[in-house]
């Protein structure tokens, strides 16, 4: 098949759009989608200047998603002094998995010449995920521990590094899976949270109507407790991210984590593959509807919860929590006691 734009040999066919694209047109279509998302979500605020730039910390795991995101952001803002990128990698202590992907992160940051920070659970908390899985004092899936620790490390280090935003490499498949999971679990509060935490765009700081961006789309409520997150790769399907990494010859690490245990997500993933195959465009339409619904839910829950959720500080580590001891500190207690 030939490229629909230039007639050269196509490297891919996107069933959801009907387009065949050659290497050059495919690569630029991925970049365009990321840049459009950056624009539509107003990620670059009006008050960012070369003298007072925004710092974006990118969660770089060494997998294809975060590698592609870092690479595209770098090339987008290479000559724009209003944005400074810092890559942040978390080492969970997983033998034979994280070491290789850390090497990929180092190679990429070095190639691009951006600052790279590496933090490990071992240094931060005195635990390694391999040991946590072994002792498993709370009788939970590995990812349930790991997710708590990762969130803690990412937000604390993002703050330490002076981040204005924390960017992660979630792709379209990841987001459509999360959307479906929230739907099927009937968890509207979670859908509302998803909007305020990462889906909603940012207000334009000057001249923008409250709670609406330039094009009238609803924007998120920003809490004071967390560094805002964004996912500029979330319009690009997983397969296209992989193809991009391959064509651009990026150092991405592909093996799966040996402790990966999200069985439910796996089921949703197979379901979505099947639906997408029979009804191309399913992921896009799920996200279009979900985002609208999530905006409504966020508005409703925001109004209901105003002044109700009292966040205090964890008495041990000082992070925001609704309890005396935060989830991370209580997990660490039971791990160390095991």
Contact 33, 235 (CB under 8 A): yes
Residue choice 92, 152, 196, 291 for contact with ligand SF4 (CB under 6 A):
92
In the complex, minimum distance from the CB of residue 153 to Zn ion, in angstroms, rounded to a whole number: 13
**Footprint of Zn ion on 22-61 (CB under 5 A):** 22, 25
CA-only gyration radius of the chain, Å: 20
Separation CA 156–CA 210 (nearest Å): 29
Shortest distance, position 184 Cβ to ligand SF4, whole Å: 21
Residue 324 burial (CB count, 10 A): 12
Binding of Zn ion at residue 332 (CB under 5 A)? no
From the list ligand SF4, Zn ion, none, pick the one residue 257 interacts with, judged by a Cβ distance below 5 to 8 Å according to partner type.
ligand SF4
Q: Which does 129 bind (CB under 5 to 8 A by kind): ligand SF4, Zn ion, none?
A: ligand SF4
Residues 6+ away with beta carbon under 8 Å from 182: 190, 191, 194
CB 286 to ligand SF4: min, Å: 23
Residue 99 CB coordination number (10 Å): 12
**Residue 92's binding partner, choosing from ligand SF4, Zn ion, none, with beta-carbon cut-off 5 to 8 A by kind?**
ligand SF4
Q: What whole-number distance in Å separates Cα of residue 84 and Cα of residue 77?
A: 8
Round to whole Å and give the CA distance between 134 and 258: 13
Helix (H, G, I), strand (E, B) or coil at 2: strand
Residue 74 or 149: which CB sits closer to Zn ion? Answer: 149
Task: Answer yes or no whether residue 1 interacts with Zn ion by CB under 5 A.
Answer: no
Q: How far is the CB of 134 from ligand SF4 (least distance, A)?
A: 13
CA gap 235, 252 in Å, rounded:
20
Yes or no: say if 326 and 336 are a contact pair by the CB < 8 Å rule.
Answer: no
Query: Between residue 93 and residue 152, which ones bind ligand SF4 under the rule CB under 6 A?
Result: 129, 142-143, 146-147
Nearer to ligand SF4, 35 or 151 (CB): 151
Enumerate binding residues for Zn ion (CB under 5 A): 3, 5-6, 8, 22, 25, 314, 316-317, 326, 329
């Amino acid at each position: 098949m030939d490229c629909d734009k230039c007639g050269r040999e196509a490297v891919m066919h996107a069933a959801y759009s009907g387009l065949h694209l050659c290497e050059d047109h495919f690569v630029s279509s991925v970049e365009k989608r990321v840049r459009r998302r950056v624009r539509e979500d107003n990620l670059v605020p009006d008050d960012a200047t070369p003298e007072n730039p925004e710092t974006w910390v990118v969660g770089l795991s060494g997998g294809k998603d975060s590698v592609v995101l870092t690479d595209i952001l770098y090339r987008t803002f290479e000559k724009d002094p209003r944005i400074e990128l810092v890559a942040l990698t978390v080492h969970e202590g997983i033998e034979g998995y994280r070491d290789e992907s850390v090497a990929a992160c180092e190679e990429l940051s070095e190639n691009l010449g951006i600052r790279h920070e590496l933090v490990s659970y071992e240094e931060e908390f005195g635990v390694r995920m391999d040991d946590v899985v072994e002792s498993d004092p709370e009788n939970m899936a590995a990812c349930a521990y790991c997710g708590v620790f990762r969130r803690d490390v990412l937000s604390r280090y993002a703050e330490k590094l002076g981040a204005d935003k924390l960017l992660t490499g979630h792709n379209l498949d990841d987001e459509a899976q999360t959307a479906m999971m929230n739907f099927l679990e009937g968890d509207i509060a979670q859908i509302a949270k998803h909007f305020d935490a990462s889906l909603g765009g940012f207000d334009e700081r000057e001249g923008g109507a409250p709670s609406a961006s330039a094009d009238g789309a609803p924007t998120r409520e920003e809490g004071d407790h967390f560094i805002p997150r964004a996912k500029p790769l979330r319009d690009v399907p997983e397969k296209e991210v992989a193809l991009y990494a391959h064509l651009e010859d990026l150092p991405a690490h592909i093996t799966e984590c040996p402790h990966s245990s999200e069985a439910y997500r796996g089921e949703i993933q197979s379901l979505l593959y099947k639906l997408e195959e029979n009804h191309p465009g399913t992921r896009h339409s799920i996200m279009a509807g979900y985002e609208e619904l999530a905006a409504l839910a966020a508005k409703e829950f925001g109004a209901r919860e105003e002044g109700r959720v009292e966040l205090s500080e964890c008495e041990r580590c000082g992070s925001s929590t609704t309890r005396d001891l935060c989830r991370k500190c209580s997990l660490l207690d039971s791990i160390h006691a095991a």
